[in-house]
């Protein structure tokens, strides 16, 4: 076996889910070694790849070559980029294409792309012939640290994001760190919002590490990027293994998301505010809310905001271009979030950095005050 073939330089994180367990491989050059990683999972040497046009232009031929090296052929469908693809029409196109490609029950679908493609392809695989297996090949930081791991798949409804979907675990995740080099800086940073979330929700030491290493990591240091992705994935894998279907602890991964989803809805899911940026802002708001309720130290929100600011991420609402609706409208948008249980909004609050917990007990007037404070920032 040649040096390029050995996977010794690759980190392997296990998602322990009994018969549905799988590995997340984190390292460089995984696209070119995709055939080697995937071949043991195949019942015949062919795969169907769902991707999007921008990603296809950058990476599809490398994937094709990586698979061909092990004698695996592939066909591919490249969908338009953007959140709009993740709807009924995109799903229909994907599933009908897979059927036309004669993908059988024992075959493998590959999702090559960011969160939109991973969620859509995973859901297409979940419903095709009552479920075929799939491999996630995430190309964005956000997808590598969050959406490709844990089996949440689905599409958006006109009535809200991610309202239609299924838990369908992948058979393998290939997180190729080298692919992050081709991301626009803003997309990389938006994904970093989700990385910060892991430190904030459950690992103060990791947050301190990010404060020290975040700027070099964002500037392109691949070793630091691999460490951050591996650590984030390991944290997520542990949580998913304990609570696959979000009966409890997994909801901590939604730190910053109740505020974040409302901000995304208020900005029309446009590039005024990317998902990871909204999550970062949502984390600041969650810590401000926790501090105002006397649950966490008063200096914690400032530390969260300072780290986002140091990376060039938005950290106060006034930075969102085009302005935001008032407190009542934002609270109304939060109430539509799918995390609402029995009509009560659930918040992920924090006792301190690295110590998040779930709460349903947040008075409306405190929410309003936090929103006003965050606007002034």
The residues that touch ligand GLY, with contacts defined as CB under 6 A, are 146, 150, 152, 250, 253
Shortest reach from residue 7's CB to ligand GLY, in Å: 26
Q: Which is the catalytic residue, given 225, 261, 307, 316?
A: 261
Per the annotation, the verdict on 130 as an active-site residue is yes
| Pick 46 or 161: Cβ nearer ligand GLY | 161
Quote the tokens at residue 202. Answer: 């459950």
Cα–Cα distances in angstroms (integers) from residue 178 to residues 90, 216, 225, 374, in the given order: 28, 16, 9, 36
Quote the CA–CA distance of 187 and 68 in Å, as a whole number. 30
Task: Determine whether 197 is an active site residue.
Answer: no
To the nearest whole angstrom, how small is the minimum distance from the Cβ of residue 85 to ligand GLY? 19
Per-residue HEC secondary structure of the chain comes to CCCCCCCCCCEEEEECCHHHCEEEEEECCCCCCHHHHHHHHCCCCEEEEEEEHHHHHHHHHHHHHHHHCCCCEEEEEEECCCHHHCCHHHHHHHHHHHHHCCCCCCCEEEEEECHHHHHHHHHHHHHHHHCCEEEEEECCHHHHHHHCCCCEEEEEECCEEEEEEEECCCCEEEEEHHHHHHCCHHHHHHHHHHHHHHHHHHCHHHHHHHHHHHHHHHHCCHHHHHHHHHHHHHHHHHHHHHCCCCCCHHHHHHCCHHHHHHHHHHCCCCCCCCHHHHHHHHHHHHHHHHHHCCCCCCCHHHHHHHHHHHHCCCCCHHHCCCCCCCHHHHHHHHHCCCCCECCECCEEEEEECCEEEEECCCCHHHHHHHHHHHHHC
Active site residue 275: yes
Distance in Å, CB of 105 to ligand GLY, minimum: 26
For residue 253, the minimal CB distance to ligand GLY (Å) is 4
Q: Work out how close the CB of 257 gets to ligand GLY at its nearest, in angstroms, rounded to a whole number.
A: 7
Nearest residue to ligand GLY by CB is 253
* 350, two tokens: 């924090």
To ligand GLY, the closest distance from the beta carbon of 360 in angstroms equals 18
Per annotation, catalytic residue among 231, 254, 307, 371: 254
Nearer Cβ to ligand GLY, position 161 or 292?
161
- The least CB distance from residue 289 to ligand GLY, in Å, is 20
Select 13 or 38, whichever has its Cβ closest to ligand GLY: 13
The reply to whether 211 belongs to the active site is: no
Is 194 noted as a catalytic residue in this protein? yes
Nearer to ligand GLY, 138 or 150 (CB): 150
Instruction: List the catalytic residue out of 129, 250, 272, 368.
Output: 250
Residue 246 catalytic? yes
Based on the residue annotation, tell me whether 351 is a catalytic residue of this protein.
no
152/371 with CB nearer ligand GLY: 152
Q: Verify whether residue 162 is a known catalytic residue.
A: no
Phi-psi region of 91 (alpha: psi -120 to 50; beta: other; left: phi over 0): alpha
Confirm whether 59 is a catalytic residue. no
Smaller CB distance to ligand GLY: residue 99 or 341? 341
The catalytic position among 152, 168, 197, 292 is: 152
Residue of 70, 83, 211, 246 marked active site:
246
β-strand pairing of 46-52 with 355-359: unpaired
Distance CA 333, CA 375 (A): 17
Residue 54 falls in the annotated catalytic set: no
Shortest distance (Å) from residue 79 CB to ligand GLY: 21
Q: Which is nearer to ligand GLY, 6 or 341 (CB)?
A: 341
Nearer to ligand GLY, 146 or 264 (CB): 146
Sequence-distant (6+) residues with CB within 8 A of 312 are 189, 218
Task: Give the active site residues.
Answer: 130, 152, 194, 236, 246, 250, 254, 257, 261, 275
């Amino acid at each position: 076996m040649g040096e390029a073939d050995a996977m010794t330089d690759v980190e392997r994180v296990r998602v322990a889910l009994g018969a549905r367990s799988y590995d997340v491989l984190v390292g460089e050059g995984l696209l070119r070694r995709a055939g080697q990683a995937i071949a043991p999972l195949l019942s015949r040497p062919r795969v169907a790849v769902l991707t999007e046009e921008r990603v296809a232009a950058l990476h599809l031929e490398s994937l094709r070559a990586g698979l061909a090296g092990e004698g695996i052929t592939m066909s591919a469908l490249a969908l338009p980029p953007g959140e709009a693809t993740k709807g009924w029409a995109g799903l229909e196109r994907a599933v009908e294409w897979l059927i036309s490609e004669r993908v059988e029950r024992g075959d493998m679908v590959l999702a090559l792309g960011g969160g939109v493609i991973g969620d859509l392809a995973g859901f297409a695989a979940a419903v095709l012939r009552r479920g075929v297996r799939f491999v996630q090949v995430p190309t964005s930081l956000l997808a590598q640290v969050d959406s490709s791991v844990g089996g949440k798949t689905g599409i958006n409804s006109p009535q809200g994001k991610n309202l239609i979907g299924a838990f369908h675990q992948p058979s393998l995740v290939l997180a190729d760190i080298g692919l992050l080099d081709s991301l626009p800086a803003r997309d990389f940073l938006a994904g970093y919002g989700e990385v910060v979330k892991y430190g904030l929700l459950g690992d103060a030491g990791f947050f301190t590490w990010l404060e020290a290493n975040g700027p070099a990591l964002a500037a392109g240091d691949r070793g630091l990027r691999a460490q951050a992705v591996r650590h984030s994935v390991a944290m997520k894998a542990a949580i998913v293994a304990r609570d696959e279907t979000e009966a409890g602890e997994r909801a901590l991964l939604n730190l910053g998301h109740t505020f974040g989803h409302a901000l995304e809805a208020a900005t029309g899911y446009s590039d005024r505010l990317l998902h990871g940026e909204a999550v970062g802002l949502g984390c600041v708001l969650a810590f401000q809310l926790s501090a105002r309720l006397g649950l966490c130290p008063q200096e914690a929100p400032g530390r969260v905001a300072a780290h986002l600011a140091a990376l060039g991420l938005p950290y106060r609402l006034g930075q969102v271009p085009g302005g935001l609706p008032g407190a009542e409208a934002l609270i109304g948008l939060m109430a539509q979030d799918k995390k609402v249980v029995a009509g009560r909004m659930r918040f992920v609050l924090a006792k301190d950095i690295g110590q998040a917990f779930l709460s349903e007990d947040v008075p409306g007037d405190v929410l309003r005050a936090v929103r006003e404070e965050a606007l002034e920032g």
